Amino acid sequence: MEVKINRNAAKVLKNALASPEGQGKMIRVYVTIDHGDHAHYDWKFDTPTEHDEIVKTDKDIDIVLDKREKFLEGVWIQYFHVPEPEFVISSLHHAHHHH
């Protein structure tokens, strides 16, 4: 599996992992809604299970993904400061649109 992450997202996630809530945890990206041809995503602190793959990124952050979920292949994690601070998580391999 593959994960891309932009510089802003890496900085925010590294700070989150250094917080008390992130101690001893990893970042898991997961599907919140599956629409059939695309999905919506979020992230949380978690620990890996037997169904997971730990993907190393070029920003020195390991991301936990469930190998059984097809929409997690090619995840792209971005963080933008404008128009408001927010994560935008999409897949490089699946269609996506904003609601």
pTM of the model: 0.89
- pLDDT of 42 above 60: yes
Taking residue 3's Cβ as centre, other Cβ atoms within 10 Å add up to: 25
Distance between CA atoms of 73 and 75, rounded to whole angstroms?
6
Q: Architecture of 3-91 per CATH? A: Sandwich (2.60)
Longest C-alpha distance within the chain, in Å? 39
Identify how many contiguous H helices and E strands the chain contains and give both numbers. 1, 7
- pLDDT of 95 above 70: no
* Whole-number percent of the chain with pLDDT over 70: 95
Q: Can you give the pLDDT at residue 13?
A: 98
- pLDDT of 69 above 50: yes
- pLDDT of 99 above 50: no
